[in-house]
Amino acid sequence: ADMTIKFSHVVAENTPKGKMARKFEELAEAAVPGLDVQVFPNSQLYDDSRVLEAMLLGDVQIAAPSLSKFQRFTNKLQVFDLPFLFDDMAAVDRFQQSEAGQSLLNSMEDKGLIGLGYLHNGMKQFSANEPILTPEDAAGKKFRIQTSDILAAQFEAVDAIPVKKPFSEVFTLLQTKAIDGAENPWSNLYSKKFFEVQDYVTESNHGVLDYLVVTSASFWNGLEPDVRDKLNKAMNEAIAYGNEQSADLAARDRQAIIDDEGTKVVQMSAEQRQAWVEAEKPVWSEFEDDIGRDLIDAALKANQ
């Protein structure tokens, strides 16, 4: 092959991200003669925290880590971590496609990374052994969070206790009730079997856990312009396909968890949700300086 692109990700082949990567391989190889796209799923090459460093060293060309992994590179992408900012996935999508959302893709170019597009994973839902409907329901409970100052603040705002633990430990900690709850999109709740060890899932849609498809600036800017255009087109098509898959999967996994007898799925009322929004607004202002007021406003505008 004249050119090799390594696409490294951390999930299985049959997930939306895995399928999106294969789709890109197919489309890009058809569009660019002599191109070999190699997809490495399941963290075979790098995990999410190291893949960006390997990319900067030029050993991986494309990856799609969670948005929260970019905290160290730019503060702006943390806008997606703000709790109860987006009403639903459609709002997230509108924001991502807006001018503000698209400008975020280039917010890390000084650190050597360029975003190629957003890939949906889904809205996060609370899970616990009791229904989490009001902010008071969460108070005093221990919730597992991913790396993020904002996620910690989100739980501290309602007097819950954020606990940071690696993904590999979460199942056991939830099963033994060392941790009371977690926040995950439907797809993670289902595929990682977290719902098996939680009695209640609240359809809270309180935050978003999307991926950013990212490439290295030196690789991307070094491409022939027509090759770059073709790859960009292939990537956009692959992401659109991945997002369809993601929506289907989220719906399917949500239904599977609803159908499961061991887990009860509960809904927040409009007032309950509003109570959460009020409780979490201080978190928005706390991080307003880091993220930028204009971005938060643009995100709120996407709610329509």
**Binding positions for another protein, rule: CB under 8 A:** 12-14, 40-47, 49-50, 53-54, 56-59, 71-73, 111-112, 140, 142, 147, 152, 161-166, 168-169, 171-173, 175-178, 191-193, 196-197
Q: How far apart are CA 296 and CA 304, in angstroms?
A: 14
CA–centroid distance for 146 within its chain: 11
Q: Got the DSSP string for 91-129? A: HHHHHHHSHHHHHHTTTTGGGTEEEEEEE---EEEEEES
Beta carbon nearer to another protein, 152 or 201:
152
At residue 98, the 3 state secondary structure works out as coil
Beta carbon nearer to another protein, 169 or 248:
169
Q: Quote the least distance from Cβ 170 to another protein, whole Å.
A: 9
Longest dimension (CA), the chain: 60
Which of 201, 22, 23 lies closest to 122, judged by CA?
Answer: 201
Structure tokens at 19: 């399928």
Beta carbon nearer to another protein, 166 or 225:
166
Q: Quote the least distance from Cβ 38 to another protein, whole Å.
A: 8
Q: Quote the least distance from Cβ 137 to another protein, whole Å.
A: 16
The CA radius of gyration of the chain, in Å to the nearest whole number, is 19
Q: Quote the least distance from Cβ 226 to another protein, whole Å.
A: 24
Q: Quote the least distance from Cβ 27 to another protein, whole Å.
A: 21
Q: In 10 A of CB 12, how many CB atoms? A: 12
Beta carbon nearer to another protein, 12 or 90:
12
Beta carbon nearer to another protein, 35 or 92:
35
Beta carbon nearer to another protein, 98 or 147:
147
Strand partners, 36: 4
Q: Got the DSSP string for 192-235? A: TTGGGG-SEEEEEEEEE--EEEEEEHHHHHTS-HHHHHHHHHHH
Structure tokens at 151: 């996620």
At residue 156, the 3 state secondary structure works out as helix
Q: Quote the least distance from Cβ 257 to another protein, whole Å.
A: 13
Q: Quote the least distance from Cβ 224 to another protein, whole Å.
A: 19
Beta carbon nearer to another protein, 171 or 227:
171
At residue 65, the 3 state secondary structure works out as coil
